[in-house]
Amino acid sequence: MIVYGNFFYRGRIVECGVEIEDGIIVDIGKDKKGEKVNGIIMPAGIDVHVHFRDFKESYKETIESGSLSALFGGVCLVVDQPNTNPPIIDEDTYFKRMEVAKRSTYIDYSLNLGLTEDNVDRIDKILEKVEEKHYVPAIGEVFLKGKMSVSYETLKKARNKVKKLITVHAEDPNEEDDVKAEIKAVEKCLKIGKFHFCHISTAKALDLIYNSDSTSEVTPHHLLYSSHEIPYRVNPPLKDVDVRIELVKNFWKADILASDHAPHTLEEKKEGAPGFPGVETIYPMFFYMVKRGYIKINDLVEKFVVNPAKVFGFDKYGPIEVGKYANFAIFDPKDERPIKAEKLHSKAGWTIYENLMAIFPKIIFIRGEKVLEDGEVLVSRGFGWIL
């Protein structure tokens, strides 16, 4: 099979053909002619931070609805977080979750393992057991405050027990100022060792991580909105406009762009539940920003495709290159439209990005198979692989 068109390949748009065998790219060349695809053929996105709920919270999102939402947003692979109900903190619950994913997911699905005060002494044994069947991308997101929180001492113990990537939600539990809380938590964690820091919201913390051997991610909501603009909570909180602007100026220092897709019902939001849905809108919004010249296309691909695969160890995922899976998201740059919650596929039914402009992908390939075209899903739930 050969797909021909305008591919984002090695840092630029190149008209060429991509030859695919068994879902893998085996050759790329201008002389290879095949099925002509119109539009810009981008590598499909990897969202390393989603909360697909399910289990006892299936009323507000399931792996099925969350993965469908991701598919429509041009995402081929997600990393789900373990603070579910019940939480993913032992091998039995991990296996149960993956069985749900196996019959439900439209896209490729991976799952982090949770860390608590109660399971830290056997976290290495749990990890070993789980990895007999599955690839665990990371331990985390590890909370330092709130539900499922651990102490710095417990985090240090875990860091010494496993070589696996550990992802941290950096908010110091003893600091009331939310800007200082993030910076202090990052400083303390960096003294312990190497981590991946989730949803960083301040330029100072981003700079500390940039100048270390750890890695970071940022979210659309912390980049696009200040605290006075959105009435709903999120953790870490949205910041004052001057802090947000500094984060935007330092966007280039971030390793990864991730949605932190965290759906709740509107009733729960009004009661203070933290988090926003966003897996379907992240790639379309940022591709629109590329078209408008707000960010560079190379930065978007680096932060939403290349680095997620590299940092989390997804060897066959990532850029359009020989030896990688043929995962493509095809965009028509002329097809701009405002985001409307009623058109999205999350169970949440609302979005903070309402009416922001976006360019949604018109065609998606996963492992060489066309799975979505012009709004029509061409595969059934359960098509996605569980890693």
Of 280, 152, 265, 254, nearest in space to 199 by CA: 254
Answer yes or no: 121 catalytic: no
The type of residue at 317 is Y
Candidates 303, 330, 319; CA nearest to 223 is 303
Contact 36, 2 (CB under 8 A): no
Please, what sign has the CA dihedral across residues 27, 30, 33, 39?
positive
The dihedrals phi and psi of 89, each to the nearest 5 degrees, come to: -125, 15
Backbone phi and psi for residue 217, each to the nearest 5 degrees, phi listed first: -135, 155
Distance of alpha carbon 234 from alpha carbon 227, whole angstroms: 10
- Pairing between strand 35-43 and 75-80? unpaired
CA distance 331 to 334: 9
Based on C-alpha coordinates, what's the Rg of the chain? 20
Cβ atoms of residues 286 and 254 within 8 Å: no
Query: Which of these is catalytic: 260, 332, 335, 374?
Result: 260
What is the rounded distance in angstroms from the CA atom of residue 283 to the CA atom of residue 261?
13
Mind telling me the catalytic residues? 260
